[in-house]
Amino acid sequence: MPKVASVLSVAVSAAVIACAAPAWAAESMAETPSPTNAQAGPPPGYECADKPVTGSGPGFSNSREGSEEAARQGWLKKAQAIYPEATWETAYRSGVSCAVQGLYSKCFAEAIPCKPKPGGAANAGADKTAPDKSAEVPKSE
């Protein structure tokens, strides 16, 4: 009878571990949202690098937003080493994914850096992607 009890105990333990493992794995796996600017090609008037660049912050953070911003800043530092004019807003196929462990997260930003083409539409006059702030009138309170 003791053998039956030990076999039953092992079977119950295995079932508990099997039920708990998917929840733990889902928590620690990276969340991969769709790219933030999933256009068909590089931004008009821009030329892009051949390969994507990945950046991340210094470590796990208790702020998801802070971790995402740190990842974008890490990406920007690497992207500007390739193209000094690179920005997150003009990047091609940009996206941020985060690994979550409990209350902490570490995010990774990945995108292909781009720069304005010489003499292209991006260099002619104002940037068409940025809103025109000169027409804004301050509101009186």
Per-residue pLDDT for 19 more than 60?
Answer: no
Query: Residue 6 — very low, low, confident or very high, per pLDDT cuts 50/70/90?
Result: low
Contacts of 131 (CB under 8 A, 6+ apart): none
User: pLDDT by residue (tens digit) across 28-87?
Assistant: 444 444 444 455 678 889 999 999 999 998 899 999 999 999 999 999 999 999 999 999
pLDDT of res. 113: 96
CA atoms lying within 13 Å on the CB side of residue 132? 5
Token digits of residue 129: 């992607």
pLDDT of res. 41: 76
Query: Residue ranges of the domains in the chain?
Result: 24-116
